[in-house]
Structure 1
Amino acid sequence: MELINNFVDLFLHLDKHLSMVIQTYGSLTYIILFLIIFCETGLVITPLLPGDSLLFAAGAMAATGALNIKILLVLLFCAPLIGDQVNYWVGRFFGSQLFFKEDARFLKKAYIDKTHGFYNKYGGKTIIIARFVPIVRTFAPFVAGLGKMNYLRFIAFSVVGALMWVGAFVLVGFFFGNIPIVKNNFTLAIMAIIGISLLPAIFEYVRQKTLIKKTIARKQAAQVKEL
């Protein structure tokens, strides 16, 4: 329970924690930020690390002069981009051996082929949009590699996604993070960012539930007509 409380506290008070890191480690803060964003994107075992909120907080700190905005933008652009490549190749070379078996009940090799077809059709949209959805962005490159999505196509969309994601959150933090009303309510701002980040996943969940209900209703109506 204490671990969970500490984790929640880290998310909600990123400004204070990041300020302490800057005071303690100075220029090494850039490396720490790089590694956190890299791991959140590049390792499927660390999907719950702060992403959106950390970028926003880092941008806000840069506005105070504690961090250099140019260095920050370059490093934080490279972090998810490199993470994507690592995740992609892990999925491509080791994904099927680690997670799929021919006789598996649920995770069959046929699913790899379906994933391949899905990414060939929707790959660009998936990789870019997934960048803005927590947890999903961690697994999207892995699944792309697992499905053997064309690498040049993948890296092109990965670059666009990283530019949009890092640019959006860091610059919003840089230009708005130190406005008095935002600065004085930083926890609420972080909660709002987390909430907004989860909206696409919530929308998709509701949409799928609605589609399932409609499908069931149509089948039931068809059965009644047959009777």
Structure 2
Amino acid sequence: MLSPEYLLATFSYVGLALIIFAETGLLLGFFLPGDSLLITAGLFAARGDLGIVEIIVLVIVAAFLGNLSGYFIGRRFGPAVFARVKFLKPEYVEQAREYFDERGNQALILARFVPIIRTLLPTLAGTIQMNPRTFMISNAIGAVLWGTSVPLAGYFLGKIIPKDVLDKYILVIVGVILVLSFIPVLLEINKRRRR
């Protein structure tokens, strides 16, 4: 897998926007480095290689559009997939619809901070025909919160760590962040397994 540092150094803002779009909206983008890429972009901004304002604006727009595309993919193709795939039973769709009616707004906002889930949830929201207006509002709030807080965390981390240390150990720092970003997923899997 390509490292977030390599991706940013090679593809800069365009690469950042395309990866965030794919990771948040295209089902095949679940393996892309979302959080670690944003932290690394913040670290690059702290070093002066990128602009933090430009990063935040790009990430918010790409994340919003990514989720929107995932929603429309689910809305267009999701019902047909559920009808054809035998292990995806109609009651699963109904359970998802009930969950979204009850907690859909919160789920979409919080999913931004959980790898893999942030890729899948917009498509599921489209599949169950979640109200488009409600989806847009939750999508916008989530994109702003995630697109601002994660790059800023990397930026402030980069300002705290001396530049020579940051230059020398950026791969180690990104590796630690990558591992930490999967902890919520593992905790949720463990919690569900216990039930």
Question: In structure 2, the residue corresponding to 1:107 is in which secondary structure?
Answer: coil
Q: Cα RMSD (Å) of the superposition?
A: 1.9
For residues 187-226 of structure 1, the aligned pairs below 5 Å read: 187-211=171-195
Q: Equivalent residue for 2:52?
A: 69
Unaligned runs of 5+ in 2: none
Q: Cα deviation per residue 1:132-183 (whole Å; 9 max; x = unaligned)?
A: 1111110010001111111211121111211121212211111212513554
Q: Equivalent residue for 1:58?
A: 41
Distance 1:111 1:16 in 2: 40
* Bigger radius of gyration among the two: 1
Distance 2:166 2:7 in 1: 17
Kept in 2, the 8 Å contact 1:88–1:145? The answer is: yes
Kept in 1, the 8 Å contact 2:7–2:15? The answer is: no
Q: Equivalent residue for 2:5?
A: 15
Amino acid at match of 1:148: Q
Q: Equivalent residue for 1:174?
A: 155
Distance 1:68 1:208 in 2: 40
Tell me how many residue pairs correspond in the alignment. 192
Amino acid at match of 1:34: A
Kept in 2, the 8 Å contact 1:89–1:145? The answer is: yes
More helix by share: 2
Displacement of 1:128 after TM fit? 1.5
Runs (4+) off by over 3 Å: 181-184
Q: Equivalent residue for 2:79?
A: 96
Question: Which one scores higher on RCO, CA 8 angstroms, separation ≥ 6?
Answer: 2
Displacement of 1:195 after TM fit? 2.3
Kept in 2, the 8 Å contact 1:56–1:177? The answer is: no
Unaligned runs of 5+ in 1: 1-6, 23-28, 212-227
Amino acid at match of 2:52: I
Q: Equivalent residue for 2:107?
A: 126
Q: Percent identity?
A: 36
**Segment drifting more, 142-151 vs 185-194:** 185-194
